[in-house]
Amino acid sequence: MQNHILSIILFTPLVGTFVLLLIPGENKNAIRWIANIFALLGFLISLPLVPMFWEKRFEVGFKFIEGAPSNWIPSIGAGYYLGIDGISFLLIMLTTLLGWISILSSWTAIENRVKEYYAWFLVLQTGMLGVFMALDFFLFFVFWEAMLVPMYLLIGIWGGPRKLYAAIKFFLYTLLGSVLMLLGIIFLYYHHHSVGNPYTFSIPALYQTAPGIEFKYAVWLFFAFFLGFAIKVPMFPFHTWLPDAHVEAPTAGSVILAGVLLKMGTYGFVRFSLPLFPAVVMHPKVRGWMIGLSIVGIIYGALVSLMQKDMKKLVAYSSVSHLGFCTLGIFALNPAGLSGSVLQQINHGISTGALFLIVGVLYERRHTREIAEYGGISNVMPVYATITMIMFLSSMGLPLLNGFVGEFTILQGTFLENWKWAAWAVPGVVLAAAYLLWLYQRVFFGTVTNPKNEKLHDLNPRELLCFAPLIIAAFWIGLFPKPFFEILEQPVNKLVTQIRPNYPTAATTVNASATPTAAAPSADSAKGTH
Amino acid sequence: MLGQVAQLFSPTDYLLSLPIVLLTIFALGILIIDLWVPAELKWFNAVTAFIGTLFSLYIVVKIHFFYLSAPSTANGLVGFAQSMLLDRFALYFYYLFLVATLIAILTSVRYLEIEREHHGEYYALMLFAVVGMMCMASAIDVVLLFIGLELMAISTYVLVGFLRRDRRSNEAALKYLLLGAFSSGIFAYGLSLLYGLTGSTNLFAINQRLGQLLQIHPKDPIAIIALITTATGLLFKIAAFPFHQWAPDAYEGAPTTITGFMSVAVKAAAWAMLIRVLFIGFAPLQNVWVPMMIFVSIATMTGANLAALTQTNTKRLLAYSSIAHVGYILLGVVAFGSGQNPAAADGLKGILIYLLVYTFMNLGAFAVIASLRRRDIIGDEIDDIAGLYSRAPFEAVLMLIFLLSLAGIPPMAGFLAKYFIFLSLIESQHYVLAAVAVLYALFGLYYYMKIASAMFMRQPLEREALPVSWGMRIALGITAFATIYIGILPEQFIRAVNWTLGLNQVSSVISQLK
Amino acid sequence: MGEITVLHYLVVAAALFILGVIGVLTRRNVVIILMSIELILNAVNLNLVAFSRLYGLHGQVFSIFVITDAAAEAAVGLGILIAFFRNKETINVDEIDLLKW
Amino acid sequence: MLFLENIWLIPLLPAFGAALMFFFGRKLEKRTVSAVCVGAVAIAFIMSCGAVWQYTDYAHGTGTPYQKTMYTWLGSGDGHMAFPRSFDGAPSEFKAEAGFLLDPLSSIWLLFVTGVGMLIHIYSTGYMAHEGGYYRFFGYLNLFMFSMLTLILANNYVLLFVGWEGVGLCSYLLIGFYFHRHSATTAGNKAFIVNRIGDAGFLLGMFTIVWYFGTLKFTEVNALARSGHFQIGDHVLTAAALLMFVGACGKSAQIPLYVWLPDAMEGPTPVSALIHAATMVTAGVYMVARSNAIFVLAPTAMKTVAIVGALTAIFAASIGLVQNDIKRVLAYSTVSQLGYMFLALGVGAFAAGVFHVFTHAFFKALLFLGAGSVIHAMSGEQDMRNMGDLRARTPVTFWTMFIATLAIAGIPGLAGFFSKDEILWQTWASEGGAYRILWFVGYATAIMTAFYMFRLIYLTFYGQPRMSHEVEHHIHESPKSMTIPLVILAVCSVFAGYLGFPHSLKGSDRFGKFLEPVFAKEVKVLEAERPGQLAAGEKEEEHTSGTEYLLMFLSVAAAAAGWGMAHRSYSRAARDYREPIAASAPSLYNVLYNKWFVDEAYDYAFTGRRKVGDVRFGVLGLGDASAWTDTNIVDGTVNAAGWLTRATASVSKWWDKWIIDGLLVNGAAYITLPFAYIARLTEWGLVQWYALCMVIGLVGFVFYYVYR
Amino acid sequence: MTPIATPFFFYLLAGTMIIGGVLVITRRNAVHSALALIVALLAQAGMYLMLYAPFVAAVQIILYAGGIMVLFLFVIMLVNLERAQKERQFNRIWPVGLLSAFALGLLFVGVYSKGKTLLPSEMMQIPESSNTQEIARYLYGNYMFAFEIASLLLLVAIIGAVVMAKKRI
């Protein structure tokens, strides 16, 4: 169990797919049951990982290593090589959870071609998990791309009116990024060889040699990777595939898309861009650009979503804004910023996932997402209204809910680097409140004006079951995030030491701050002020 | 006198010619038996051809094992007075040809019945074409090379025009023939100049003499003309810009099964020839043909991809896509031409793997399209494939697999092929070229996904289910399985290619090629 | 009139080659295009034989093969032409117009 | 130490009540609901009394704060998310605890918040008896109590911020309690968003502190600030102080962020009493007082605070003069009183400011509750022009409100007098020269306050009845549950003042003494800050009481004057009475009545809810702009790229068509001939065209490689 | 014995060939072109003789002039159209074709004039008496395999021609 748990988690959904294929497509309910069972199974199986990981949370390096470098295709040095650290652990848990929820949520939403829907969904699940587990670039890339296909089909087959456009746009746009990344990977691989090592795709091995690449190449490599991740995140100029994809995708698709797929971009930044090209990342110009794009994303996304007339589009743009916070935290490049960013990725997965579910609930009942169509919903669906309020609050970063913890930590970390950055980013918090509350007012408050809305029935138990874990998670992270911080502590500090060796990653004495020491201001701290 | 004959025809020659001889015998057999086979039992010819191919394959395997057993044959055996070299390289291509032929035969039966053109000649010609290919792959004497080329070419002309009542088929055949003959004329002209320069018809001898010649006069214009005219012939056969325009027409007009066969086996043979001629014969002129190939490959990718974007006919679209693939493979040539290892090795490896993978995925794709053919419907418009999922889910999924593989999405095999090409480019510092190549991969994705979305996301025009013959099923099964299997567990295939190229061994084909 | 060297033959062959090319490029009548191709092949032959004057018989042998090939191409080409003619009642090359971009 | 040990229960009890309401409230009946909620607050009140009492002999005068840390909330706990703090580069830890702190300052807030809160809960049981969403209301109220108590008891800034945002949320929910009314929900949004703006500033302030001090704990921050490492006027500290003051402005409705408070009166009256008068709005004061250690090191910030406070005071008062909605009058008076408090803080009279908060809590709550009971009596009518002569019909309400009015107007002997007088005196005493202006401002405000308060009293309780008849004979005194709290509060607002009985009146300023440990050192710093003044202060010492008496007398006079004016113009208000100001200076009246058109200005400039012509400015304008950009430019580029590719792909086709069409359209053959020729060239499908391409390629290659 | 008046015969034959070639590609009537081609081929046979290649010359006459051209004439008769002669003989793009072909020719001439020194000038003495035997030796020696394949080539040509031309198989 200990040494195969990753594979088990990884392939459970795939097994589900094959089981589904055996069932005739007519009896939809059987299919639904099987799919849900396997999705839940995927989640339950991932639960034992939690205590196992908790014991090892402070151990250095990757844990639950499975397979070995270049044991898969020895002659090119690719390996079936899995392993996780705190960052990927959290994202894996998020994936399994959201996968289950979104499959549960599409029980009634999907009526035609049910079988393939669930089949593709489970394949997608495996793909996403693989991305977070792979310790081998080849494997990573395989999962990274393989996951596009099911998503493409999910959008394209079960999507809305402009599904074809959205699907192909999503596919092309993401592939555009990843192909250049492939070149980057190959370059690293070749460089690793050219400095006298055997060919290998093993990521830990490449960590050793990649920083040695001379700067003028490293910059190009960084941008090759950057494009791939920035499109995935999506960062500001590359975000336009997102609204289309979200608006057209079925609810569950949006949940997964926002909840997990976007995280792959940020995960990529943390896992690859930072440790592989420390020099480039620390280069003030590059870093300035990254931060700048993030800030623009935050403000711009918020402003645009302020103006949307379609709920789903609004939420989509809001996640552009939120992911802006994530990238901001990443490029703050200090423990606070990084761990805040990862935590915020989890939070975004939870709250935005919930928001898409919320939109989906209404859409399932009324088949429209026009805000103008609604109003006074809280009269007819009080429970739903309450849950929505909670999730909106968590998404706008209200304390004691998850959003706040992430955003606060990120902004704190950013401020420590340069107060201007934080100052520019903070308005995003205000705007978030603005567009969410305005949306809430227009949809839920007031009296029911539209006769179609009078008959809406409140959430049924299944839907409640979808929301329950998310709400619990939201409160948990909001009230007691310490475990998450502890899980993130080791990998984050490792990253920081890799990038800026002279950065103190551990306070010498816990209460150092109480008694001022006469130490001269160090280089890093000086950076912040001027 | 007899002694002379015995000395002219050695056991080695016997061994080397055996696969070819077997194919020939079976082809002739089919031609004769066909006279007695009644119209409704014509599938018997197919069986015969299949068996013949299997026999030939068996012999090839035997040779393979003989090579494995005898390390002295690391560089293969030379036979027929230096005119034929059956090295591992040739062996590899033999495998490709034979497998492609087997699959093509499987797909053909029902197709031809529907077309009401089910004749033994079809299979005979196919086998003769394979004979030609084998000669091309194993010839190191330009004469044999040329004859083999022509044998293959002429058989293919006929096969393309085999649907004599179908105008498109006629046209395709005629165009293909005119252009083919024209190009082979130019090719022959180039060969003659080559002979004139070096006084020999043996590629290795040519290599040496040309080397000496260029030592004396670098940039010898006649040599360059010889190169370019020869290259015209070669590039025409692999359908590279600007000699590619025959391909879409021929592919569209030809019987779909033949289209598959051409796009795979014929092309592979052309590649074998190109590699032999360029890498051996014209090796001294590398500094000339490398930039030329760079230009050609970029132009090919550009033209083909742009052209493919607007196609509404799946066969034509795939034709253009296969031209685009040629562009990619040419990049391997470029990397090889850059000379230094490991780039050269990986470039060549990339070419071979690409051809291997391409054989399966492209044949598969064309097989699916062939299975769309029905009495009244030609079935090669995108509208015909629309909503295929609801009519034949199995085939639709397979088609998706082939398309993804063609687009180079992992874990399909196509990705592996592209991977090696890119790797070799990076290793030979052709970064820009690599970037261009990957960006063109996006174009590819776009038009492949056009087909995919037609299959999965559109409603079918008519809902009747597709009858799929057993042969077709087997063929699809094999190709799809291979496409996925090579994608997921490519190890032994890569090993095989390494063995073929004698990499990580005492004597390497590469060193011998250069 | 000086000594006749191989080069003279080459030039003649080249002229023949070009004539063939012109024919292929300009004529509408498929039969004549095929003949032009024969011209090209003859140019090749002339080259080969001329060169064989320098290097020995290989060239002549090669030229025999080329002739064979020419024969085969002509035969098949004409056959295809007849099939085409049956369907289309024309032998004009620019009336081959079903297949286009 | 029972209560002190379990101090964490104090906020948790209401939280528990709230949770109960949210989960099961719909099923419970009103009695249980009120039992649970009121009970929770009552217990909390008792516990806090106990806690404070225990604290007094825990600290016995030294004022050492009592701290209790529950667990590490933010940060991984054992010093592993570190960073070099800025001012000396010592590695310090990013960390925030869920920890509670009790010291004189917080205990004062604790007492009156729980006390007033409890009373208002009781009051609400009567007031809301006939409203829908009873459980929801009490759930929100309890939630509010929880947040407010967290705010008060937090031992670090982040936890304080938790309460800070929490109370903001609750005020949002409670303002929008009648969510059918669009105006109500809009007001709620306004309140929340404006508060958010302030919070943004507060956040940045906190970050500055962390970055500079490396910690967020009050004790550590204060220790560092007082450790003498920083000279007065340290820029970073000034920045931090100002940023935090932005937060305070948002929460405590100071210029320019006061706009939300008047609209907040959309909520039920008890809410206005509890949140928008007594407790929440004083959070800003609390926060500034809490971080006095930093403020005193930043004189600029102090001055800003003082000036903003004074301006707000007089500004709001001026608006209050002419408002007709009874609750709005009180709202503006709240704003102006808050202005007073900040004025006090600004001039360094922290104790005085806090004292005013304390007293103000009682009488302003009382006023609001009274107003509520009036509205209750008037069956929902809020416009004072339609009231009058309620004196007899609702005696309790009248008398209690009258007392409160006396208090707020600063009639000697009541709470307001002591606190306000203290502030004015400190203002006069602390700063010299130009800063005396602040005193005059405060003084003018005092007059205005007296005026509009008595205007309210007269219009409501005196004169002829101006209401419609059916309303008239529904008028009745409110139930006990409402009147009892009124009475209690009235008592408080009479006697609360005596806690701070000034020395000058031979009193012992218990209040000041109690707060001594929290502020004492500040006073010293202030002295150090302006040695010049110090001498003056010494000089003043002997005749100080003289000035003080004079000022005291003046302020009494002010109150009297206001009262007098109000009496002259409103005591006999008939149905057709005229606003004296409107009569004398209509334009001024108009401006005041429209609140100086501030909301309109904001709508034009910042929110963009109103268009200038048909151009939007402000945030919505930006939103429009960026939405447009997104669809047309950013996404446009993407689509254009795709389109362009396909265009180039099919260009030859078009070319042909286009030319042929061109041919047909204009028969000018001689022009189009060459084009047509090219068009025919590009006619695909012609074999010889392919061959031609081959030959051209051949030529090209040969030319390139031979004749290069 | 060495040939006499080599230059004269050379230019004579060359002229005949070129003219024949020109006629081939310019004649309106396909039959005339065919005849012109025959003339050119015969002239070329003469050249072979001058180049000491009697066997090739013979093959040229027998196979080409005798075989292939007859095939051509047959086909021409078969598909002969009055129409074909009346309408224009050159396709639309002929100017460009001509141009590019001439360009190619010019390049060739240029190249030959440049590279004339590269070819070995002294000619090898080939015994013409034993020419045929030698060729046979080559055919059955070095080129045996190619020779066999060539037989297949012809076979395929026959099959192809039959398959294509025959109405029903």
List, for residues B203-226, the tens digit of each pLDDT value: 999 988 888 888 888 778 888 889
Burial of D479: CB neighbours in 10 Å, binned 0-12, 13-18, 19+? middle
Residue D666 has pLDDT above 60, yes or no: no
Q: Residues of C with CB below 8 A from B190's CB?
A: none
**CB < 8 Å to E93, chain C:** 25-26
- The CA distance from B171 to B152, in Å, is 19
Asked if D317 and D422 count as a contact pair (C-beta separation under 8 A), the reply is no
Residue D544: the pLDDT is 60
Of A382, A506, A521, the CB nearest to D82: A506
Written as six digits, the tokens of A333 are: 């490049």
With CA atoms as reference, the chain C residue closest to D680 would be: C94
- Residue B262 — left, alpha, or beta (φ > 0 → left; ψ -120 to 50 → alpha)? alpha
User: Which chain B residues contact residue C62 at CB under 8 A?
Assistant: 142-143, 146, 191-192, 195, 201
Q: Do E138 and C57 touch (CB under 8 A)?
A: yes
Given a cut of 70, whether residue B169 has pLDDT beyond it is yes
> For residues A131 and A145, what is the distance between their CA atoms, to the nearest angstrom?
9
Flag whether pLDDT at D538 surpasses 50: no
Which residue is associated with the tokens 């001889």? Answer: B21
Joined tokens for residue D13: 């009890």
CA–CA dist E12, B347 (Å, integer): 53
Residue B74 has pLDDT above 80, yes or no: no
Question: What are the tens digits of pLDDT across the range D358-405?
Answer: 888 888 899 999 998 888 888 888 888 888 888 888 888 888 999 999
d(CA A355, CA A445): 17
Q: From the CB of residue D564, how many other CB atoms can be counted at a distance below 10 Å?
A: 13
How high is the pLDDT of residue A507?
A: 61
Judge contact between C79 and E158, C-beta under 8 A. Answer: no
On chain B, the residues whose CB falls within 8 A of the CB of E149 are 131-132, 135, 144, 147-148, 151
| pLDDT number for residue C101 | 53
CA distance A65 to A84: 7
Whether the CA torsion D590, D595, D597, D599 is positive or negative: it is negative
D and E: touch, per 3+ CB pairs < 8 A? yes
With an 8 Å Cβ cutoff, are E144 and B9 in contact?
Answer: yes
| Digit-coded pLDDT (tens) for D292-321 | 888 888 888 888 998 999 999 999 998 888
Chains with ≥3 CB–CB distances under 8 Å to C: B, D, E
Spatial CA neighbour of A530 closest among A403, A417, A374: A417
D contact chains, 3+ CB pairs < 8 A: A, B, C, E
E121 backbone dihedrals φ, ψ, rounded to 5°: -85, -35
User: Nearest by CB to E90, which of C4, C26, C75?
Assistant: C26
Q: Check residue B228 and give its pLDDT.
A: 93
pTM, two decimals, is 0.89
Q: What residues in B contact D698, CB-CB < 8 Å?
A: 186, 228-229, 232
Burial A62-91 (b: 16+ CB within 10 A, else e): bbbebbebbebbbbbbbbbbbbbbbbbbbb
Phi, psi of D254 (to 5 degrees): -105, 160
Chain C residues touching B146 at Cβ < 8 A: 62, 65-66, 69
- Report the percent of chain E where pLDDT is more than 90: 26
Give the separation between CA A266 and CA A253, rounded to whole angstroms. 19
Q: Judge whether D113 and D152 are in contact, CB under 8 Å.
A: yes
Residue D347 has, within 13 A of its CA and on its CB side, a CA count of 29
Cβ-based neighbours of D607, under 8 Å, separated by 6 or more: D618, D619, D620
pLDDT at residue D646 above 90? no
D410 conformational bin, left if phi > 0, alpha if psi -120 to 50, beta if neither = left
Residues of E in contact with B83 (CB under 8 A): 142-143, 145-146
Residues of chain E neighbouring C25 (CB-CB closer than 8 A): 93-94, 97-98, 100-101
Q: Which of B147, B173, B195 sits opposite C59 (nearest CB)?
A: B195
Take residue E112 and report the two structure tokens written for it. Answer: 């030959």
- In this predicted structure, what is the pLDDT of residue B514? 43
Among residues A395, A377, A402, A401, which one has the least CA distance to residue A459?
A: A377
Q: Which two tokens stand for residue E57?
A: 């010359």
D487 Rama class: left (phi>0) / alpha (psi -120 to 50) / beta:
alpha
Between positions 626 and 665 of D, the ones with CB within 8 A of C are: 652-653
Q: Rounded to an integer, what is the distance from CA B367 to the centroid of its chain?
A: 16
Lookup: tokens for D594? 């429209």
In this complex, which of B410, B423, B439 lies closest to A146 when CB atoms are compared?
A: B410
Mean pLDDT across chain D: 82
Ranges of chain A with pLDDT below 70: 1-2, 507-530
Q: Identify the pLDDT of residue E4.
A: 63
Q: Which residue of E has its CA nearest to D703?
A: E107
Q: Does position B401 have pLDDT exceeding 90, yes or no? A: yes
| 3+ Cβ–Cβ pairs closer than 8 Å linking B and D | yes
Hey, are the CB atoms on B196 and C50 less than 8 Å from each other?
A: yes
Element (H, E) at D537: helix D531-570
Cis omega (within 30 of 0) for bond into D14: no
Name which of D497, D524, D345 is nearest D421 in CA terms. D497
**Rounded to an integer, what distance in angstroms lies between the CA atom of residue A267 and that of residue B286?**
45
What is the count of residue pairs from D and E with beta carbons less than 8 Å apart? 39
Report whether pLDDT(D432) > 70. Answer: no
Q: Is the pLDDT of residue D536 over 70?
A: no
Please state the φ and ψ torsions of residue A136, each to the nearest 5 degrees: -130, 130
Strand partners, D325: D383
Q: How many CB atoms lie within 10 A of CB A372?
A: 12
> How far B390 CA sits from the closest chain D CA (Å)?
29
Taking an 8 Å cut-off on Cβ atoms, the answer to whether B307 and D653 are in contact is: no
Q: What is the CA radius of gyration of chain C?
A: 17
Interface chains of chain E (3 or more CB pairs under 8 Å): B, C, D
ipTM for the complex? 0.87
What tokens does B348 get?
């060549």
Comparing A357-366, B98-107, B316-325, B379-388, the range with the smallest average pLDDT is: B379-388
Name residues whose C-beta falls within 8 Å of residue D661's C-beta, 6 or more positions apart in sequence: none
Q: Is B432 on the interface with A (CB under 8 A)?
A: no
pLDDT at A392: 93
pLDDT of residue D540: 44
Tokens representing residue D109 in the block: 């807030």
| Residue B77 falls in which region: left (phi positive, over 0), alpha (psi -120 to 50) or beta | beta
The secondary structure of residue A509, as a DSSP letter, is S
Asked whether at least 3 C-beta pairs link E and A within 8 Å, the reply is: no
**Structure tokens of D205?**
């302030």
Point out the residue among A72, A156, A190 whose CB comes nearest to the CB of B426.
A190
Cis bond upstream, residue A234 (ω within 30): yes
- At D336-357, the pLDDT tens digits run 999 989 988 888 888 888 888 8
Domains of chain C in start order, with CATH, are 6-88 (1.10.287.3510)
* Predicted confidence (pLDDT) at residue D507 exceeds the cutoff of 70: no
Q: Which of C6, C44, C67 to mutate to test the interface with B (most CBs of B within 10 A)?
A: C44
Quick one: DSSP state of residue E61? I
CB-based contact A24:A68 (threshold 8 Å): no
Q: How far apart are CA B256 and CA A466, in angstroms?
A: 51
Other Cβ atoms closer than 10 A to D336: 26
Residue of D393, D359, D361 lying closest to D377 (CA atoms): D393
Gyration radius of chain E's alpha carbons:
20
When CB atoms are compared, the residue of C17, C56, C87 closest to B170 is: C87
D635 pLDDT more than 60: yes
Q: Which residues of E touch C92 (CB under 8 A)?
A: 84, 87
Task: Give the per-residue pLDDT at B419.
Answer: 92
List Cα–Cα distances, A374 to A283, A454, D188, in angstroms.
50, 10, 20
The verdict on E107 touching D (C-beta cutoff 8 Å) is yes
Name the band, by pLDDT with cuts 50, 70 and 90, for residue D244: very high
pLDDT in tens, C84-93: 888 888 888 8
pLDDT at A326 (0 to 100)? 93
